[in-house]
Amino acid sequence: MKQAARLVRAAGRTVFCDAVTARLTRLNATVCEDGATLARQVDLVLVFGGDGTMLRIAREIAGSPTPMLGVNIGGLGFLTAVPSDQLSAALKRVWRGEFKFEKRALIEATAQRDGRQIRRAALNDIVISRGVVSRLIELDVDVDGDPLTRYRGDGLIVSSPTGSTAYSLAAGSAVVFPTADVFALTPICPHTLSNRSLILPLNATIRVQAISPKPTTILSADGEVVSELEAGEVVTIRRSRRTVRLMHLSDSSFFEALRRKLHWRGAYL
């Protein structure tokens, strides 16, 4: 991060950072209270870490027109555009205007719990799943008021296009182009083998009702637990009105990222 600050200053620009980063890194920079405040003050947000860090910052600054550029110092990193060892070259290209933007949709879940409304946004996915007990749960699902099915299994993933390469992919769903306007509904270890991932329009409203009193049913967003759900409680999932903007270098390609990160090599004859 200190290297990045030096590169930014060397290019004649000003360095800002959020309060947590300033405290952890002792970075000499103009300090903003949080990510949302930071995004209002700058032209570009550099995010250092893996996809988990990108997801957290995306939720903090959702709705802001300020783009994010992810610098990968984590693992797989589908959301991070630049490897950390290529940061200097990447920033030089940014200063020359060799970049493009992608707008990514967020999704959100709402539920009533103990007389209060819970609302949580996610860039990757909303997941309704069993707790630590290894027993099936049951979930009734309808789409735009039309009953779909009752899932019996370990849970259900409702993925955004961005999240198709995350938990949804591990559960056997399709890879979705990240700017496609679709949801992917993917059951987790379904008891009925004919239950398959379902692709829905992103303007659909998905209603999931918890049926099982035991074991505990858990609602989570981007991997963070939001709440437990009692039998009969309903989660409504729809497209959020907020989006985030990601910056990529001009020659970047989603398909190239798939080949590289998922080790797609094709057949050798």
Active site residues: 51
Report CA-CA distances (Å) from 235 to 109, 111, 139, 211.
Answer: 6, 5, 10, 12
Q: What is the distance between the alpha carbons of residues 147 and 138, in angstroms, rounded to a whole number? A: 14
Coil, helix or strand for 55? helix
DSSP3 helix / strand / coil % (the chain, rounded to 5)? 25, 40, 35
Report CA-CA distances (Å) from 67 to 62, 70, 92, 162.
Answer: 10, 10, 17, 16
Residue 218: partners with Cβ closer than 8 Å, 6 or more residues away: 127, 128, 129, 130, 131, 155, 225, 227, 228, 229
The helix (run of H) or strand (run of E) holding residue 22 is: helix 19-25
Provide the residue type at 109 as one letter. A
Pick left, alpha or beta for residue 178 (phi over 0 → left; psi -120 to 50 → alpha; otherwise beta): alpha
Q: Do you find a cis peptide bond into 161, omega within 30 degrees of 0?
A: no
Let me know how long the chain is: 269
